[in-house]
């Protein structure tokens, strides 16, 4: 099973570590499009910092992010699962998994990235600031750039298995399954129930997704179809309903964390 995750907006910048080496990252077929994004982003941030901040949607207190983007090839790197520090990753808690679950994570998790397209948890990357909707000079909108190249990469990574898609809406625009793979893609949403109302609440959504992925990795389950994934999630203690999209949308319903 391939599990697609969003990155986190918050990132931990390592103080020491090897510089970025694109050939050493997972999914090496993305090396050229990664170079294109890196070149465009570093070039933008090495010029007028105020213009760069406006283009990236950053405020005056985020000048360090602009400076860091300008030096991405020289700044220290760390594992992607240490760089991404948001609520989802805090609740996923990859470092505290047992050895078998960590092995599953290394082969089944793929993290969408505006800068790198898609990375594995162990890939060494620098901290960066780039949103999927940014229009980079000479490149265009970041999400559209990745949408051109990610389909065969995701399909190869999925193989004959299921794709559990837990991406946020921003990163869903990076890749949409083609006709051949679509029947094996389960889109997982988290809805908070308050009385009779159901809604998407950011903190509940991210925290529950992190805990759910942790539980899936610990279980060792390998469902092959969306309906089988729903059964596994129920067995793990969550309430889940089959939504629309022909039964390929799974709604996990939570009332409290």
User: What are the structure tokens assigned to 77, written together?
Assistant: 């790197």
User: What are the structure tokens assigned to 257, written together?
Assistant: 């964390």
Are 19 and 179 a contacting pair, CB within 8 Å?
no
β-pairing verdict for 124-125 and 163-165: unpaired
For residues 257 and 90, the model is more confident at 90
218-235 confidence digits (pLDDT tens): 999 999 999 999 999 999
pLDDT at 97 over 90: yes
Kind and range of the H or E element at 154? helix 150-158
Mean pLDDT in residue range 209-214? 97
- Whole-structure pTM value: 0.94
pLDDT number for residue 98: 96
pLDDT number for residue 146: 98
The mean pLDDT of the chain is: 93
Are 5 and 166 a contacting pair, CB within 8 Å?
yes
Worst-scoring range by mean pLDDT, 2-6, 148-152, 175-179? 175-179
Could you please report the per-residue DSSP string of 126-156? ------TT-EETTTEEHHHHHHTTHHHHHHH
Mean pLDDT in residue range 138-145? 96
pLDDT number for residue 257: 62
Give dist(CA 170, CA 81) in Å, integer.
20
6-45 confidence digits (pLDDT tens): 999 889 999 999 999 999 999 999 999 999 999 999 999 9
pLDDT at 210 over 80: yes
Three-state DSSP class for residue 25: coil
For residues 246 and 251, the model is more confident at 251
User: What are the structure tokens assigned to 180, written together?
Assistant: 């051949």
Share of the chain above pLDDT 90, in %: 82
For residues 180 and 83, the model is more confident at 83
pLDDT number for residue 9: 86
User: What are the structure tokens assigned to 165, written together?
Assistant: 């898609």
For residues 169 and 195, the model is more confident at 169
Mean pLDDT in residue range 104-110? 96
Question: Taking the domains of the chain in order of start, what are their residue ranges?
Answer: 2-254
Sign of the CA dihedral with 71 first, then 73, 76, and 81 last: positive
Are 138 and 97 a contacting pair, CB within 8 Å?
no
Give dist(CA 135, CA 249) in Å, integer.
30
Give dist(CA 145, CA 147) in Å, integer.
6
44 phi and psi, to 5 degrees? Answer: -60, -45
43-69 confidence digits (pLDDT tens): 999 988 999 999 999 988 788 999 999
For residues 189 and 194, the model is more confident at 189
Give dist(CA 56, CA 115) in Å, integer.
13
pLDDT at 247 over 70: no
pLDDT at 186 over 70: yes
Q: What is the DSSP letter of 132?
A: T
Give dist(CA 130, CA 49) in Å, integer.
14
Are 18 and 124 a contacting pair, CB within 8 Å?
yes
């Amino acid at each position: 099973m391939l599990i697609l995750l969003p990155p986190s907006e918050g990132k931990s910048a390592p103080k020491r570590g090897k510089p970025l080496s694109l050939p050493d990252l997972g999914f090496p077929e993305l090396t050229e499009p990664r170079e294109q994004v890196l070149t465009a982003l570093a070039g933008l941030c090495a010029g007028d910092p105020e213009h760069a901040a406006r283009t990236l949607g950053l405020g005056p207190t985020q000048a360090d992010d602009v400076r860091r983007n300008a030096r991405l090839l020289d700044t220290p790197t760390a594992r992607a699962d240490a760089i991404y520090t948001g609520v989802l990753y805090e609740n996923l808690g990859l470092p505290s998994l047992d050895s078998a679950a960590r092995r599953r994570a290394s082969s089944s998790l793929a993290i969408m990235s505006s800068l790198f397209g898609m990375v594995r948890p162990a890939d060494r990357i620098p901290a960066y600031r780039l949103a999927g909707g940014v229009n980079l000079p000479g490149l265009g909108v970041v999400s559209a750039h990745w949408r051109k190249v990610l389909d065969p990469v995701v399909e190869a990574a999925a193989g004959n298995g299921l794709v559990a898609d837990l991406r946020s809406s921003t990163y869903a625009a990076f890749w949409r399954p083609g006709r051949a793979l679509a029947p094996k893609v389960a889109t997982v949403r988290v809805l908070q129930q308050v009385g009779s109302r159901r809604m998407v609440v950011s903190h509940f959504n991210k925290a529950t997704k992190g805990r759910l992925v942790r539980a899936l990795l610990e279980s060792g389950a390998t469902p092959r179809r969306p309906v089988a994934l729903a059964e596994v999630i129920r067995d793990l203690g969550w309430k889940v309903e089959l939504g629309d999209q022909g039964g390929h949308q799974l709604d996990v319903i939570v009332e409290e964390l």
